[in-house]
Amino acid sequence: EVADLPLSMQVKLLRAIQEKAIRRVGSNQEIPVDVRILSATHRDLAKEVAAEHFRSDLFYRINVIEVQVPSLRQRKEDIPLLARFMLEKIAREWGITAPQLSDEALSALNTYQFPGNVRELENIIERAATLCEGNVIRASDLSLPDSPGQLPEAISEPNHLAQAAGDIEAYVSSIEKAIILEALEANDGNKTESARMLGITFRQFRYKLKKYEME
């Protein structure tokens, strides 16, 4: 997640790209390197540059070939392929026969919106492989949220004014808290990944957890 690099680290990365050399921590000697750099981000880097959150010179250095990858919810046809690939990987690592996905499990995955994208699918598949019986994964083994991938009711329903009447701060806070809970659930409680999913810094995420007494 290159957009999360602090400005001080952006400078170091830029220098390494330009000079084609690095210096180990505590060393005065530079080591030449010949590498190809691939970076990923879920943010609009051009907007980050305009907001002075990302260095423009580094942006132009790394933005040579750009590949747009649609979110998992936009390419449902990939879900069965990815799920089976993950199950085969688990089987090799655990030394077991790869569990099979039942039709009901595949149907449940195809209707889920995956706010956590491919990483969330991987977590779901690994958990299901652990919980399933008879080497067959059923829908109940996936442990998907009751409202798969949907925003909290307060957000999805168009009656914001009625719900916010009298105390807009409490209403907005309830929405934010629900989103934070969903992010934590999607990432198995991992705060760093949850912050990244929501596009905020880890410090901001911790502040919100303390604000809503969720720690």
CATH number, domain containing residue 194: 1.10.10
Question: For residue 54, what pLDDT band results from cuts at 50, 70 and 90?
Answer: very high
Mean pLDDT of 155-181: 68
In a domain, 124, yes or no: yes
In a domain, 148, yes or no: no
In a domain, 67, yes or no: no
What does the mean pLDDT of the chain come to?
85
Same domain, yes or no, for 107 and 157?
Answer: no
Distance CA 26, CA 50 (A): 35
Q: Does the pLDDT of residue 1 top 90, yes or no?
A: no
Same domain, yes or no, for 88 and 34?
Answer: no
Q: 78 versus 1: which is more confidently predicted?
A: 78
Count of structural domains within the chain: 3
Same domain, yes or no, for 41 and 90?
Answer: no
Summary count for the chain: helices (H), strands (E): 12, 4
Distance CA 30, CA 22 (A): 5
Q: What is the pLDDT of residue 177?
A: 85
CATH number, domain containing residue 95: 1.10.8.60
In a domain, 147, yes or no: no
Domain extent, residue 191, equals: 153-211
pTM of the prediction? 0.55
Q: What is the pLDDT of residue 154?
A: 43
- Distance between the two ends of the chain, CA-based, in angstroms? 25
Same domain, yes or no, for 163 and 190?
Answer: yes
Q: What is the pLDDT of residue 71?
A: 84
Q: Does the pLDDT of residue 33 top 80, yes or no?
A: yes
The CA–CA distances, whole Å, from 48 to 2, 92, 116 equal 11, 41, 22
In a domain, 20, yes or no: yes
